[in-house]
Amino acid sequence: MGLVAAGTWMITALAGVYLFWRWLSGGGLRRQASKVTPFPLTLVFSHPALAVSALACWVGYLLTGQRALAWTAFGVLAAAALLGFAMFTRWLGGGRHARSGGFPVLAVALHGVAGVTTFVLVLLVASVF
């Protein structure tokens, strides 16, 4: 089940990279300079940084079997998930899901569903196995 969690993590990451690319190509950094974005840079960059850090811990757990690494991965992933939820609620609250120039709803949904699935799998593996 640990490898399944790693697989869903990869799906989440790929969808996240796509969303980040869309944000950048839509003027994300230029809009930051003019303060016309609901996504603060700290939020935009902390979410993936924490997720990648958690994934590194998870890979360490898969390679060594040390449960402390699994729980560390879960804790860091929980922080990344909270930041992701904050971005999601800002995206919904701003009506960006209804605009044609925003993020594709399917990509946001895939990223969110895969992320929640990963979160649950990591919790199950860390607590049971």
Q: What is the pLDDT of residues 50-93, one digit of tens each?
A: 999 999 999 999 999 999 999 999 999 999 999 999 988 888 87
Contact (Cβ atoms closer than 8 angstroms) between residue 54 and residue 73: yes
pLDDT (mean) for 11-38: 77
Position 35 scores a pLDDT of 57
CA 1 from centroid of its chain's CA atoms: 20
Position 36 scores a pLDDT of 52
Per-position DSSP letters for 97-116, written without gaps between them: TTSTTS--HHHHHHHHHHHH
More confident: 13 or 37: 13
- pTM for the predicted model, two decimal places: 0.84
pLDDT for 37 beyond 70: no
Position 26 scores a pLDDT of 76
